Amino acid sequence: MHKPLHGIRILDFTRLYAGPFCTMLLGDLGADVVKVEPPGGDPLRAQGPPFHRGLSMSFLAANRNKRSIMLDLKTETDRRNARELALKADVVVENFRPGVIDRLGLGYADIAVDNPRLVYASISGMGADGPDSKAGAFDLTIQALGGFMSITGERNGAPVKLGTSVFDLVCGQYAMGAIVTALFERERSGRGQRLETSLFEAEIAFLVDAAMEYLLAGRVRGKWGSEHAALVPYKAFKTRDGWLVIGAGIQNLFEAFVAALGRPDLKDDPRFANGQARVEHREALYEMLDRAVAGFTTEELRARLDDAAVPCAPVNDIADVFKNRQALHRGMLQKIALKDGGELPVVGPAVKYSAFDVAEGWTAPPELGEHAEAIMREWLVS
């Protein structure tokens, strides 16, 4: 069974997280992704502990369905080999700092002159040009610079970063979507093009309603923890044995919530009679709700709220997620066969397709330079 990107050749000069995540998603869809690694390999291979079979968790998370070749782009011979591969590629993806790939003679203008159908994607920290384009960036610094740390964390608390390298991954998803779009456009025009994105731009795009709140109302959103600025009650509540998130800011849900708690009197209190009043008196309401919720176990209250059709969920840890019946049913845990007969558990695909099984045939992240001979033979000789 051929996947949609079967036959598409991706030459992947990326390392660390954003670029490799992008090209992994393309490999999931059937593209032949050739990962070009320097001597010593992608630095992400060694980021740890913990490690599994000598590889970091981050490398394993972003490099399935690829083949590896080691090229030292500081040498003329390997730069020439890289150029020959690029001339055979449908897509080149790179995440060097702006200008570096051009100095190596492997920039878009250098390659597209002889490969006009090439789709060439550049991923950077801050953007391909501009006054700060050369600045280094990690997901942590981007979360600070692009505003997310100012709206993440408890009210009046210290800035908090999100729990994974979210904007590396968001940027990789934007790049993946742009590459597929450019390949579709190539079918119409016959020509490729250059694409540019960055962690910084990806994060700003993800500010969504917080951005509009400032742009249209002039209001700078602050940190709300698990709460919502305009919906009350809506947050994580401490139960007798854990935490339960409850979203009951809409009027009918609020009334069902307080009835399930055994506090139907709260809906008749004029301070809490409607959404605006509850926002204005959130502290007084939460003081009473916190005390009532604390008398239940998580499962006791969850069962009551499920019966009352009030949205709620336990605050799962990662182990809970991969035991969750819905996650398992939807294939969010997959296993990749290893050459020695073992298996590598991996996160499943977020998107399912009716015409093909996106997880079929997935391969484990490659060893450094594992496929060099086959790549050179298949891409340059055949």
Q: What residues act catalytically?
A: 168
> How many other β-carbons are positioned within 10 Å of the β-carbon of residue 226?
13
Q: With the CA atoms of 84, 87, 93 and 95 taken in that order, what torsion angle do they form, in degrees rounded to the nearest 10?
A: 50
Long-range contacts of 326-331 (CB under 8 A, 24+ apart): 331/359
Please check whether residue 121 is in contact with residue 93, taking contact to mean a CB–CB distance below 8 angstroms: yes
* Distance from C-alpha of 6 to C-alpha of 29, rounded to nearest angstrom: 7
Strand ranges, E, within 129-261 = 193-198, 234-238, 243-247
Question: Facing residues of 314 across strands?
Answer: 244
As a whole number of angstroms, the distance between CA 89 and CA 101 comes to 16
250-268: burial string, b at 16+ Cβ within 10 Å, e else: eeebbbbbbbbbeeeebee
The first and second tokens of residue 296, run together, are 């239940």
Those residues whose C-beta lies under 8 Å from the C-beta of residue 343, and which sit 6 or more positions away, are 335, 336, 337
In angstroms, the CA 238 to CA 294 distance is 6
Q: Number of C-alpha atoms within 13 angstroms, CB side, residue 156? A: 0
What lies within 8 Å, CB to CB, of 271 at 6+ separation is 277, 278, 280, 281, 284, 285
Residue for token pair 């250059």: 194
> Do 262 and 208 meet the contact criterion of CB atoms below 8 Å apart?
no
